[in-house]
Copies of this chain bind each other. A is one copy, B any other.
Amino acid sequence: MTPLDTAAPDLDRLLSPRSIAMVGASNNLNSIGGLVFANLKRSFSGPLYPIHPKDSEVQGYLAYNCLQDMPQTVDLVVIAVASHAVEGVMEQAVAKGVGGIVLLSSGFAEAGAEGIALQQRIADKARAAGIRVIGPNCIGYLSIGGGVMANFALTPDEPLPPGGGVALVSQSGGFGSYLTTKGLLTGLHLGWFVSTGNELDVNIAQVLRYLVERPEVRVLLAFSETLRDPEIFIEAARRAHTLDKPMVVLKAGRSEAAAKAAMSHTASVVGAADVFDAICRQYGVIVAGSMEEMLDLGMIFQDGRRVGGNRLAIMTSSGGAGVLLADEAGMNGLAVPTFPEDEQDKMLLVLHRPFFGNVANPIDTTAAARPEAIGALLNVLASSDSVDMITTVTWARAIGAAKDLATYYQRTSKPMAVLSTDLVEPLKQAGVPTYTDPQRVAKSLAALYRHSVRKPLNEPGWQYEPTRAARARRHLQLPPGEYVLMEAQGKRLFAEYAIPLTREEWVHDLDEAVAAAERIGGKVVLKVMSYQLPHKSDVGAIRLGLQGEPEVREAYLSMLAEVRQRAPHATLDGVLVQQMVPARMELTCGLQRDPLFGPMVAIGLGGVLVEQLAQTALLRPPFDLDMARAALGQLLQGRLIQGRRGLSEHEQEQVATIMVGVGNLALELDEVEEVDVNPIRVANGLAFAADALVVLAGRSSTMEHQ
CB-CB nearest in chain B for A585 = B608
Asked if A331 and B254 make an inter-chain contact with CB atoms under 8 angstroms apart, the answer reads yes
In the assembly, what is the distance between CA of A278 and CA of B645, in Å? Answer: 28
Asked if A170 and B612 make an inter-chain contact with CB atoms under 8 angstroms apart, the answer reads no
In the assembly, what is the distance between CA of A292 and CA of B293, in Å? Answer: 13
Asked if A636 and B612 make an inter-chain contact with CB atoms under 8 angstroms apart, the answer reads yes
In the assembly, what is the distance between CA of A438 and CA of B182, in Å? Answer: 13
Residue A524 is within 8 A (CB to CB) of chain B in the complex: no
Contact A252 to B320, CB < 8 A, known contacts A584-B608, A645-B608, A645-B612: yes
Asked if A611 and B644 make an inter-chain contact with CB atoms under 8 angstroms apart, the answer reads yes
Asked if B181 and A395 make an inter-chain contact with CB atoms under 8 angstroms apart, the answer reads yes
Asked if A318 and B182 make an inter-chain contact with CB atoms under 8 angstroms apart, the answer reads no
Asked if B645 and A320 make an inter-chain contact with CB atoms under 8 angstroms apart, the answer reads no
Number of interface residues of A (CB under 8 A): 77
Give A308 Cβ to nearest chain B Cβ, in Å.
22
Asked if A320 and B175 make an inter-chain contact with CB atoms under 8 angstroms apart, the answer reads yes
**In the complex, which of the residues B327, B336, B612, B644 contacts A253, with contact meaning CB atoms closer than 8 Å?**
B327
In the assembly, what is the distance between CA of A178 and CA of B330, in Å? Answer: 22
Within 8 A of B (CB), among A322-374: 323-324, 326-331, 336, 356, 367
Residue A106 is within 8 A (CB to CB) of chain B in the complex: yes
Asked if B255 and A331 make an inter-chain contact with CB atoms under 8 angstroms apart, the answer reads yes
CB-CB nearest in chain B for A586 = B608
Give A161 Cβ to nearest chain B Cβ, in Å.
14
Give A141 Cβ to nearest chain B Cβ, in Å.
16
Within 8 A of B (CB), among A147-188: 158, 170-178, 181-182, 185
Give A620 Cβ to nearest chain B Cβ, in Å.
24
**In the complex, which of the residues B292, B316, B367 contacts A436, with contact meaning CB atoms closer than 8 Å?**
B292
Asked if A223 and B320 make an inter-chain contact with CB atoms under 8 angstroms apart, the answer reads yes
In the assembly, what is the distance between CA of A584 and CA of B225, in Å? Answer: 43
Chain B residues positioned under 8 Å from A174 (CB to CB): 316-321, 367
In the assembly, what is the distance between CA of A256 and CA of B610, in Å? Answer: 29
In the complex this chain forms, how many copies of it are found? Answer: 2
Q: Bits for A627-648, please: 1 = Cβ < 8 Å to B, else 0.
A: 0000000001001101111100
Chain B residues positioned under 8 Å from A178 (CB to CB): 318, 320-321, 393, 395, 421
Asked if B643 and A255 make an inter-chain contact with CB atoms under 8 angstroms apart, the answer reads no
**In the complex, which of the residues B158, B316, B323, B440 contacts A252, with contact meaning CB atoms closer than 8 Å?**
B323
Chain B residues positioned under 8 Å from A439 (CB to CB): 289-292
Contact A318 to B254, CB < 8 A, known contacts A439-B290, A439-B291, A608-B645: no
In the assembly, what is the distance between CA of A639 and CA of B615, in Å? Answer: 12
Asked if A609 and B611 make an inter-chain contact with CB atoms under 8 angstroms apart, the answer reads no
| Residue from A175, A254, A290, A440 having most chain B Cβ neighbours under 10 A | A175
**In the complex, which of the residues B175, B393, B612, B645 contacts A646, with contact meaning CB atoms closer than 8 Å?**
B612
**In the complex, which of the residues B252, B331, B437, B585 contacts A292, with contact meaning CB atoms closer than 8 Å?**
B437
Chain B residues positioned under 8 Å from A642 (CB to CB): 611-612
Contact A327 to B255, CB < 8 A, known contacts A174-B320, A182-B422, A185-B396: yes
Residue A557 is within 8 A (CB to CB) of chain B in the complex: no
Q: What are 12 A-to-B residue pairs whose CB atoms are below 8 Å?
A: A174-B317, A174-B367, A177-B318, A178-B321, A254-B331, A291-B324, A584-B608, A609-B636, A611-B643, A612-B639, A612-B642, A614-B639
- Chain A residues proximal to chain B, CB less than 8 Å: 106-107, 110-111, 158, 170-178, 181-182, 185, 223, 225, 250, 252-258, 289-292, 316-321, 323-324, 326-331, 336, 356, 367, 393, 395-397, 421-422, 436-440, 584-585, 605, 608-614, 636, 639-640, 642-646
Since A254-B327, A611-B639 are in contact, a sample of 9 more A-B pairs with Cβ atoms closer than 8 Å, ordered by chain A residue number, is A107-B356, A172-B320, A175-B318, A252-B323, A252-B327, A257-B330, A289-B439, A291-B324, A612-B646
